[in-house]
Amino acid sequence: MKIALAQINPTVGDFAGNTRKILEYAARAGEQGVDLAVFPELAVCGYPPADFLEKDAFVARAEEAIAEIAAWTGEPGRPAILCGTVMPATSPVGKQVRNVAALLSGGKVSFVQQKMLLPFYDVFDEQRYFEPAAQQALTCVDGQPLAITVCEDAWNDKGFWPRQLYRVDPVENLMRQWESQPKEVAGRQRIIVNISASPYWQGKPQVRQKMLAALAERHGAFVAMVNQVGGNDSLVFDGSSLVIRPDGQLVAQAASFAEDLVFFDTEDGEAAAIDPMVDEIASTWKALVLGTRDYVRKCGFKKVLVGLSGGIDSALVAAIAVEALGAENVLGVGMPSEYSSLGSIEDARRLAKNLGVRFELLPIHDVFAQYQSTLKRLFEGTPFGLAEENLQSRIRGTLLMGLSNKFGALVLTTGNKSEMSVGYCTLYGDMVGALAVIGDVMKTKVYALSRYANREREVIPRATIEKAPSAELRPEQLDTDSLPPYEVLDPILEAYVGRYCSAEEIAEEQGIDVGLVRSLLKLVERSEYKRQQAALVLKVTRKSFGMGRRFPIAVKVQV
């Protein structure tokens, strides 16, 4: 059987555009004479549609789209299509819609497999929307039986995971059904198809491949997984669709972080020459580039603004933006105050030159002085402090938003995950923006990514990489005035924010005084209110700030 993996990048809610794309890929697959073209989970409406699933009109549009795609398969010689979509539930009890893989052939919907395992952890809310499948069934395409699963359905294998999240294993159930078929069916090559919308985080593509290989070996089956690609808000889907042979060998793989159309034949099944997975830093870079490009474009924008301080965070964000959108669509804005060093302005200017982006300088001294004069009577007798520091940051945010409103460009936020963790950032100041491009990247990883940005030539100036980090909001300020060095801080934050370790566990693990750990964790707890008003963070780790990490603010918590 010849199958095409159609790894597409749909836009949430764009039924017309997504349908057009599906038919275009199906036609290309048909030209290669495939029997079946497979598309990702919820490809018709895009993933994740979130509460749009609660709107009847949205579900009705998905049904119209599926009818149109099904009709296309009616012409002789065209391949069957397996495609993810939302359908109304059939049960009078429970949730009102189902997440399904619909098999379209001969001009109609010929089979529907409803998703059984609905993830409801981290960024996933599927039990909020979908009624789970009560049962499953095998289906056939041109006489070849297929076991069809939707994403999470393949993620509960007893042999692979130390702890099961669900009581059933849909793959095992389907394989048991396979065995009980008449001999002429049971004897056919086993094929498990999995349609997915499986977002990227560091290490995830490797886990996915290992897990699917274990499945292939355990069940003696081909496993073909088609994953969505593209950025949708915080989530970046890496694609990396693949086919694994019954012996666990990879025989086909689609691109990572790009649309692709890949073919394989179960009769053939030769281990192909496949690119090794790129390394973690390169993957992260690609994820951030794709996430930035798709967010900006799917929001209907072309241009972005980045405040360039001369520091490494804004330099990295600008470099990512240029790769995502082109230098002509990025405007760098330097906004020095009296506490900015001359070197910083020079570094910002050099970065802009290296990147080939337009650079504008808007000094904030005069506006800052005017604010201080307006507030003088009320601030009288108080020392220069946090209020004055934040004022500078908020002036910069206001200037960027002024340019954004005037010229229709999105502001990219430049804060990193270390800063966002401890609240070393100013709400309505440097936190201003639509997208926190590196909000899930710890400062130590910001350095690694910056070196990656410079892999071919110097893009980020060496001085920017080498100087000691500083917010430059008061004379001679350094990040290390208030925080430990990032090599010490980042592992502590990773353990607390990412793995929910306790202060005692972290002190033990890192060999650091528990009092110091506790004082840092208190900063994390105290800055939750800032994170809840932050720009969307592009997720590249298992646990990022945003929808996948839900903490209340008005609490009294012991760390």
Residues 306-335 that bind a second copy (CB under 8 A): none
Residue 509 C-beta: closest distance to a second copy, Å: 14
Q: Of 31, 77, 182, 378, which one interacts with a second copy (CB under 8 A)? A: 378
Q: Of 88, 143, 458, 500, which one interacts with a second copy (CB under 8 A)? A: 500
Return the C-alpha torsion angle 7, 10, 16, 17, nearest 10: -80
CA-based torsion, 537, 541, 545, 549: positive or negative: positive
Q: Is there binding between residue 380 and a second copy (CB under 8 A)?
A: no
Burial class of residue 377 in the structure, from the number of CB atoms within 10 Å of its CB (0-12 exposed, 13-18 middle, 19+ buried): exposed
380 a catalytic residue:
no
Burial class of residue 422 in the structure, from the number of CB atoms within 10 Å of its CB (0-12 exposed, 13-18 middle, 19+ buried): buried
Q: Of 77, 273, 515, 556, which one interacts with a second copy (CB under 8 A)? A: 556
Judged by CB, which is closer to a second copy: 191, or 432?
Answer: 432
Q: Of 35, 125, 238, 313, which one interacts with a second copy (CB under 8 A)? A: 125
Neighbours of 159 (CB within 10 A): 11
Q: Of 20, 128, 176, 455, which one interacts with a second copy (CB under 8 A)? A: 128
Stretch that binds a second copy, among 34-42, 80-88, 369-377, 483-491 (CB under 8 A): 369-377
Count of residues that interact with a second copy, criterion CB under 8 A: 91
Residues 404-423 that bind a second copy (CB under 8 A): 405-406
Between 232 and 261, how does the x/- string for binding to a second copy read (CB under 8 A)? xx----------------------------
Taking the chain, what is the end-to-end CA distance rounded to the nearest angstrom?
57
What CA–CA distance (Å, rounded) separates 169 from 154? Answer: 8
Least Cα distance to 41 among 230, 253, 257 occurs for: 230
What CA–CA distance (Å, rounded) separates 373 from 369? Answer: 6
Residue 315 C-beta: closest distance to a second copy, Å: 22
Judged by CB, which is closer to a second copy: 92, or 511?
Answer: 92
Annotated catalytic residue within 21, 45, 83, 115: 115
Stretch that binds a second copy, among 142-150, 173-181, 428-436, 437-445 (CB under 8 A): 428-436
Residues 44-83 that bind a second copy (CB under 8 A): 46, 48-52, 54-58, 61
Residue with the two structure tokens 């707890």: 525
> Is the Cβ–Cβ distance between 200 and 548 less than 8 Å?
no
Judged by CB, which is closer to a second copy: 12, or 281?
Answer: 12
Stretch that binds a second copy, among 100-108, 163-171, 220-228, 414-422 (CB under 8 A): 163-171
Residues 6+ apart with CB under 8 A from 464: 310, 311, 312, 315, 347, 351, 450
Annotated catalytic residue within 41, 152, 389, 494: 41
Q: Of 403, 448, 512, 523, which one interacts with a second copy (CB under 8 A)? A: 403
Residue 94 C-beta: closest distance to a second copy, Å: 6
Q: Cis omega before residue 48 (within 30°)?
A: yes
Q: Of 27, 71, 88, 120, which one interacts with a second copy (CB under 8 A)? A: 120
Residue 308 C-beta: closest distance to a second copy, Å: 15
Q: Is there binding between residue 552 and a second copy (CB under 8 A)?
A: yes
Least Cα distance to 290 among 323, 263, 265, 268 occurs for: 323
Judged by CB, which is closer to a second copy: 56, or 142?
Answer: 56
Give Cα separations from 75 to 35, 69, 71, 72, 78 (angstroms): 13, 11, 8, 7, 6
Stretch that binds a second copy, among 202-210, 216-224, 254-262, 374-382 (CB under 8 A): 374-382
Q: Is there binding between residue 183 and a second copy (CB under 8 A)?
A: no
Residue 406 C-beta: closest distance to a second copy, Å: 4
What CA–CA distance (Å, rounded) separates 24 from 3? Answer: 16
The C-alpha angle 223, 229, 232, rounded to 5 degrees, equals: 135
Judged by CB, which is closer to a second copy: 61, or 445?
Answer: 61
Q: Is there binding between residue 13 and a second copy (CB under 8 A)?
A: yes
Residue 366 C-beta: closest distance to a second copy, Å: 5
Q: Is there binding between residue 298 and a second copy (CB under 8 A)?
A: yes
Q: Is there binding between residue 381 and a second copy (CB under 8 A)?
A: no
> Is the Cβ–Cβ distance between 296 and 410 less than 8 Å?
yes
Neighbours of 28 (CB within 10 A): 14
Q: Of 138, 375, 512, 523, which one interacts with a second copy (CB under 8 A)? A: 375
Residue 161 C-beta: closest distance to a second copy, Å: 10
83 a catalytic residue:
no
> Distance of alpha carbon 446 from its chain centroid, rounded?
17
Q: Is there binding between residue 428 and a second copy (CB under 8 A)?
A: yes
115 a catalytic residue:
yes
Stretch that binds a second copy, among 78-86, 117-125, 142-150, 249-257 (CB under 8 A): 117-125
Indicate the pairing of strand 330-334 with strand 304-307.
Answer: parallel
- Please report which residue ranges of 299-364 form alpha helices under DSSP H: 312-325, 342-355
Stretch that binds a second copy, among 31-39, 250-258, 294-302, 472-480 (CB under 8 A): 294-302
Neighbours of 474 (CB within 10 A): 17
Strands (DSSP E) along 210-323, which ranges? Answer: 221-227, 229-232, 235-238, 242-244, 250-253, 260-265, 304-307
Q: Is there binding between residue 231 and a second copy (CB under 8 A)?
A: yes
Q: Is there binding between residue 173 and a second copy (CB under 8 A)?
A: no
Between 518 and 547, how does the x/- string for binding to a second copy read (CB under 8 A)? -----------x--xxxxx----------x
> Is the Cβ–Cβ distance between 194 and 149 less than 8 Å?
yes
Strands (DSSP E) along 41-105, which ranges? Answer: 80-88, 97-105
Q: Is there binding between residue 452 and a second copy (CB under 8 A)?
A: no
> Is the Cβ–Cβ distance between 139 and 148 less than 8 Å?
yes
**Positions marked catalytic:** 41, 115, 151
